[in-house]
């Protein structure tokens, strides 16, 4: 079984948990990450993200060569405050707003053999500002910790 992956994605941490932002080039991954960082999130990785399974967690980090760096369109690559590693809590697929369901069903994806909550977001939504990530209330309990995701984000 594969226990590490290098993927095209950006990752940020909110309250110590990793959120993986996926989408094609130009989808707005770095832009959304920067907006979330302005709101208190921390960068884990931009553009290339390492996933590593350890026990019942998928840990997220940047390859060493790009740790702490993020591309700002029209400016270039800049260094920002970053976190070395965090456990994956949520996968977010960035999609056109027409593809975002108003009241989506619970969705999940298997990542390195573990089931991770999955949601679709329009990255440039002016209403977003990280609120849906923090208040994603339809997710199940997290492992053995008997707390709701809505309290965690």
Catalytic residue selected from 29, 53, 134, 136:
29
Greatest CA span in the chain, whole angstroms?
44
First to last CA, the chain: 31
Catalytic residue selected from 3, 8, 73, 79:
8
57 catalytic per annotation: no
Catalytic residue selected from 55, 81, 102, 146:
102
Helix (H) or strand (E) holding 145: none
Contacts of 116 (CB under 8 A, 6+ apart): 58, 88, 89, 90, 91, 108, 109, 110
Catalytic residue selected from 31, 42, 46, 47:
47
| CB distance 13 to 42 below 8 Å | yes
Q: Report the SS3 class of residue 87.
A: strand
102 catalytic per annotation: yes
31 catalytic per annotation: no
Q: Which residues are catalytically annotated?
A: 8, 29, 47, 102
């Amino acid at each position: 079984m594969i226990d590490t992956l290098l993927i095209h994605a950006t990752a940020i941490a909110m309250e110590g948990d990793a959120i993986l932002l996926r989408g094609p080039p130009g989808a707005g991954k770095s832009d959304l990450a920067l907006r979330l960082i302005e709101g208190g999130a921390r960068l884990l990785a931009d553009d290339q993200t390492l996933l590593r399974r350890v026990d019942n967690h998928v840990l997220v980090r940047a390859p060493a060569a790009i740790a702490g760096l993020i591309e700002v369109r029209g400016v270039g690559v800049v260094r920002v405050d970053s976190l070395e590693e965090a456990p994956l809590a949520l996968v977010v697929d960035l999609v056109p707003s027409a593809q975002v369901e108003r009241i989506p069903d619970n969705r999940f994806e298997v990542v390195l053999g573990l089931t991770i909550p999955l949601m679709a977001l329009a990255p440039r939504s002016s209403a977003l500002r990280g609120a849906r990530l923090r208040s994603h209330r339809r997710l199940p309990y997290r492992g053995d910790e008997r707390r709701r995701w809505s309290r965690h984000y």
